[in-house]
């Protein structure tokens, strides 16, 4: 079945977690419906634009995204070093790290400075070239077409990526095949159960179309990782994400959702510093109110490093 929305080719989308064809309707805008799965709580957008239509919108967006990066954005945030240190602690030391959707490689560069070998995938060729200059072994294109071998990595990072994937279950199955048993996984994604999403509803800053296709909660993200062969080591929620977004700007050929202005970002960060200890206490009580979810997980399995599990997940895509 095919259709068009605003002149762009599209197709109905099922629940990315369980394949249910329909769910409870959250809201409808510009011909696109946000649904919540009645079975597992996953939130997604239907119909889904055809890959070529999404690629065209992404291509128009990259130039302005790159242009919006000021000098302050080029510094390696201290947070990056904390993340790679956690990954090393889980994986038993720095090894080879893959970042899916590595953009310009700034995070990978922080990992390299901590002793990791670095590789990445990126659909934007110009951004991938920046990552290459930072020393990363880059694959331009989707993960499914990347040439990495089974259990080739000691850790994988998915930063602001999983919400963009049309088939997160398929991609996580492939990632599970790329990480050796005992290897580490890092996921950072908007939290659909967060306080600010509840306040802003469909105007929440992370509801950005067509960039974000699937919206996770602590429960749905944990279910996805567990079902893909990863045990969650820690799950936390952070930050406020106070800005409102026009999620449909990209449909009109405008720039993608812009980053908040410097002053607004400073205010947001200051408020987040106050709120994060509260969110951490709520996390411990099982209530995840922060705007973003941060998960560290470990690949299940006792196989020796470099060996592929029987019936390994990597083979599923070719089957
Ligand atoms: Zn579902």
Per domain, the residue ranges of the chain are 54-317
Are the C-beta atoms of 172 and 143 separated by less than 8 Å? no
Integer Cα distance of 261 and 249 in angstroms: 17
Determine the topology of domain 54-317 in CATH. Rossmann fold (3.40.50)
C-alpha of residue 209 to centroid of ligand 1, in Å? 20
Q: How many CA atoms lie within 13 A of 142 on its CB side?
A: 16
Dihedral (C-alpha) 56, 62, 63, 66: value to the nearest 10 degrees?
A: 180
pLDDT (tens, 9 = 90+) of the chain, 319 residues, equals: 568 888 889 999 999 999 999 999 999 887 889 999 999 999 999 999 888 888 777 776 655 455 544 444 567 888 999 999 999 999 999 999 999 999 999 999 999 999 999 999 998 899 999 999 999 999 999 899 999 999 999 999 999 999 999 899 999 999 999 999 999 999 999 999 999 999 988 888 888 776 788 999 999 999 999 999 999 999 999 998 887 666 555 555 555 555 556 787 888 889 989 999 999 999 999 999 999 999 999 999 865 444 433 333 433 333 3
The pTM of the full predicted model, rounded to 2 decimals, is 0.87
C-alpha of residue 219 to centroid of ligand 1, in Å? 12
C-alpha of residue 95 to centroid of ligand 1, in Å? 35
C-alpha of residue 274 to centroid of ligand 1, in Å? 35
Are the C-beta atoms of 298 and 90 separated by less than 8 Å? yes
Are the C-beta atoms of 157 and 110 separated by less than 8 Å? no
């Amino acid at each position: 079945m095919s259709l068009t929305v605003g002149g762009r080719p599209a197709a109905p989308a099922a629940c990315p977690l369980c394949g249910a064809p329909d769910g409870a309707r959250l809201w409808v805008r510009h011909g696109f419906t946000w649904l919540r799965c009645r079975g597992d709580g996953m939130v997604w957008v239907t119909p889904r634009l055809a890959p070529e239509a999404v690629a065209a919108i992404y291509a128009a967006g990259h130039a302005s995204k790159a242009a919006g990066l000021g000098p302050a954005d080029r510094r390696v945030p201290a947070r990056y070093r904390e993340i790679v240190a956690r990954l090393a602690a889980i994986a038993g030391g720095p090894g080879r790290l893959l970042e899916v959707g590595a953009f310009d490689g700034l995070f990978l560069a922080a990992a390299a400075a901590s002793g990791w070998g670095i590789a990445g995938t990126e659909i934007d060729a110009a951004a991938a070239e920046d990552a290459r200059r930072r020393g990363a072994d880059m694959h331009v294109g989707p993960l499914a077409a990347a040439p990495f071998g089974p259990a080739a990595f000691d850790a994988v990072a998915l930063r602001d990526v999983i919400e963009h994937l049309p088939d997160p279950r398929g991609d996580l199955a492939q990632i599970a095949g790329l990480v050796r048993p005992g290897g580490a996984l890092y996921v950072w994604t908007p939290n659909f159960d967060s306080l600010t999403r509840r306040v802003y509803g469909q105007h929440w800053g992370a509801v950005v179309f067509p960039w974000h296709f699937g919206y996770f909660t602590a429960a749905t993200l944990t279910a996805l990782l567990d079902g893909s062969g990863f045990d969650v080591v820690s799950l936390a929620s952070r930050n406020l994400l106070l800005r409102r977004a026009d999620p449909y700007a990209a449909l009109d050929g405008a720039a993608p959702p812009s980053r908040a202005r410097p002053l607004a970002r400073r205010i947001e960060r200051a408020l987040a510093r106050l709120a994060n200890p509260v969110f951490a206490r709520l996390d411990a009580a099982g209530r995840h109110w922060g705007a973003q979810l941060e998960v560290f997980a470990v690949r299940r399995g006792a196989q020796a490093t470099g060996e592929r599990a029987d019936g390994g997940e990597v083979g599923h895509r070719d089957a």
